[in-house]
Amino acid sequence: MTGPSPSAAAAQAPTAGDVSEKDRLLAQYAEVASLAGGLAHEIRNPLSTIRMNLELLGEDVEELDDPRRQRMLRKIERIQLECGHLEEVLTAFLQFSRAGELETEIADLGGVVKEFIAFYEPEARRLGVELSPHLDADLPPVRLDRALIRQVLMNLALNAQQAMPDGGMLELQAYRCEEAVCLDIIDSGCGIDPSAQQRMFQAFFSTKPGGSGLGLPTARKIIEAHGGTIHCESEPRRGSRFTIRLPAADPE
Ligand SMILES: Nc1ncnc2c1ncn2[C@@H]1O[C@H](COP(=O)(O)OP(=O)(O)OP(=O)(O)O)[C@@H](O)[C@H]1O
Ligand SMILES: [Mg+2]
């Protein structure tokens, strides 16, 4: 097989014009992202005021002696529910928009996973999810943002738990892979069909009622900001395996 002709290669090489176009697009993206983050903030604060006042209104309506009381209360509950959902979406959105801002330290990924398990185990037990950790000793240290990696683990564990409504097994396996540390998170849940697998890392893709569809995009953004990768293998009705790969810290 022959390579591209010199003229074809020259045609593909980036020109000075392409580079400045890329910079312009990056600056535009950063501006839109910061506007969207600011907007989410602006909406979240008045929303919590609305929710608080609805609660007070509900208490007032409770005391009314009016045949329409129950109907009014149902409407208030409905608005409260929608406000709660909007708040969740905004929180998920803000987490997504901040996912690239890291405060890193050198740490043992196995230790971070152990801390997460200690925090999550009571909830897992309550839901009939058995946690099965296999964390190799002597993993090379990695440079990570502890809070954000915990958030990734939480997002993946929540997805796994929601895929196993009748309980099941959640394995967490950490091992060395060349100059990196890998973590497999394996559930025995409903699995993901191929069309959903293609879209599940896209922002706002969700198959769940009330899902923000930002859990996996946030996880991916955090892992990529660490210079790592995340990918998934899944078989419908058998379960899913998410593999995170984080580069080992530079010994220097
Ligand atoms: N472990 C899993 N098992 C089965 N399906 C999964 C799993 N993880 C993700 N998915 C699929 O990928 C979709 C996107 O996941 P993601 O975490 O981004 O959003 P979500 O879970 O729908 O919403 P949110 O995270 O806000 O609650 C899910 O709706 C689900 O269809
Ligand atoms: Mg999720």
Question: Contact 248/181 with Cβ under 8 angstroms?
Answer: yes
Distance 64 CA to ligand 1 centre (A): 43
Q: Choose the residue to mutate in 164, 185, 208 for probing ligand 1, maximizing ligand atoms within 8 Å of C-beta.
A: 208
Q: Does the CB atom of residue 186 touch ligand 1 within 6 A?
A: no
Closest residue to atom 27 of ligand 1, CA basis: 211
pTM of the model: 0.83
Packing angle of the helix pair 215-225, 69-97 (nearest 10 deg): 20
Of residues 152 and 93, more confidence is placed in 152
The strand ranges marked E within 83-135 are 105-107, 129-135
Distance 160 CA to ligand 2 centre (A): 8
Query: Is the per-residue pLDDT at 56 higher than 80?
Result: yes
Q: Does the CB atom of residue 187 touch ligand 1 within 6 A?
A: yes
Average pLDDT score over residue span 88-96: 89
Average pLDDT score over residue span 135-149: 96
Tokens for 70, please give them. Answer: 């129950």
CATH class of segment(s) 105-247? alpha beta
Closest residue to atom 9 of ligand 1, CA basis: 159
Q: CB burial class (10 A; 0-12, 13-18, 19+) of residue 88?
A: middle
